[in-house]
């Protein structure tokens, strides 16, 4: 990841500042090749590195990726265990490159169900990259939009009960301060790979006015060129946020 150039001429006019990606299709990609699903997940992890590398070149400041949902626990024990091992291996393998490349890493999602070793590694990676700002990479693990809103509401209710927040002060500007993403801007563009046209409980509150792209490409085949094409196309969108163009 080190050594990625940032020529000013490569920046995309009107590029989305924050892109969120539902990285779908790893299992199908592996099945098409007669390999186990975990083979696809490993290929998908390598693709993450390539997409992160090109973010500063295109002008993307924030990249949020959906790595493991609250519903993914329903998968086989073998696949879940393999994914958890993959997350640990990713952190071990990528930490140095992330630090030296100026990538700041954050994790969102409920960490309670994750094993202690993994959560410790996640915390250490966040601390190791805390001073970086070239790219803000957010990884959603054991994340669900509804779960996030429920957890945020509990924290908000606790502040109300403790007298730290007046009920009259609660509005649509208040709740986001309790979300996992409270330090991030809302995503401008949400991309879902693999041909599925649904949002799968991802960033429900934050994506209220995001632009969406549903593409047929399976995540391990998602290239920097396709990412560039989508970012360029975003620049031509007419974003009115419920209003009308005057």
Query: Which amino acids are annotated catalytic?
Result: 24, 72
Residue 8 tokens read as: 């000013």
- Annotate the chain with three-state secondary structure: CCCCCCCHHHCCCCCCCEEEEECCCHHHHHHHCCCCHHHHHHHHHHHHHHHHHHHHHHCCCEEEEEEEECCHHHCCHHHHHHHHHHHHHHHHHHHHHHHHCCEEEEEECCCCCCCHHHHHHHHHHHHHCCCCCCEEEEEEEEECHHHHHHHHHHHHHHHHHCCCCCHHHCCCCCHHHHCCCCCCCCCCEEEECCCCCCCCCCCCCCCCCCEEEECCCCHHHCCHHHHHHHHHHHCCCCCCCCCCCC
Residue whose tokens read 């991309």: 191
Residue 102: which of 43, 57, 66, 46 has the closest Cα?
57
Place of tokens 């908000």: 156
CA 61 – CA 63 distance, rounded (Å): 7
């Amino acid at each position: 990841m080190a050594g990625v150039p940032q020529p000013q001429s490569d920046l995309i006019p009107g590029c989305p500042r924050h892109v969120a990606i539902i990285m779908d299709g790893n299992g199908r990609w592996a099945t098409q090749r007669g390999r186990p699903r975990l083979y696809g997940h490993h290929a998908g992890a390598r693709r993450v590195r390539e997409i992160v590398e090109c973010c500063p070149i295109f002008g993307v400041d924030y990249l949020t990726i959906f790595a493991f949902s609250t519903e993914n626990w329903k998968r086989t024990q073998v696949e879940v265990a393999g994914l958890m091992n993959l997350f640990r291996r990713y952190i071990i393998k990528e930490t140095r490159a992330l630090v030296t490349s100026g990538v700041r890493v954050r994790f969102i999602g409920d960490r309670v169900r994750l094993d202690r070793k993994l959560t410790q590694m996640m915390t250490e990676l966040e601390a190791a990259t805390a001073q970086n700002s070239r790219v803000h990479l957010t990884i959603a693990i054991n994340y669900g939009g509804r779960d996030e809103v429920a957890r945020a509401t509990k924290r908000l209710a606790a502040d109300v009960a403790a007298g730290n927040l007046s009920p009259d002060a609660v509005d649509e500007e208040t709740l986001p301060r309790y979300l996992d993403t409270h330090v991030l801007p809302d995503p401008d563009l949400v991309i879902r790979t693999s041909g599925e046209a649904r949002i799968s409980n991802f960033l429900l509150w934050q994506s209220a006015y995001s632009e969406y792209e549903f593409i047929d490409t399976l995540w391990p085949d998602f290239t920097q060129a396709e990412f560039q094409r989508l970012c360029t196309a975003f620049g031509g969108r007419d974003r009115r946020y419920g209003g009308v163009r005057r």
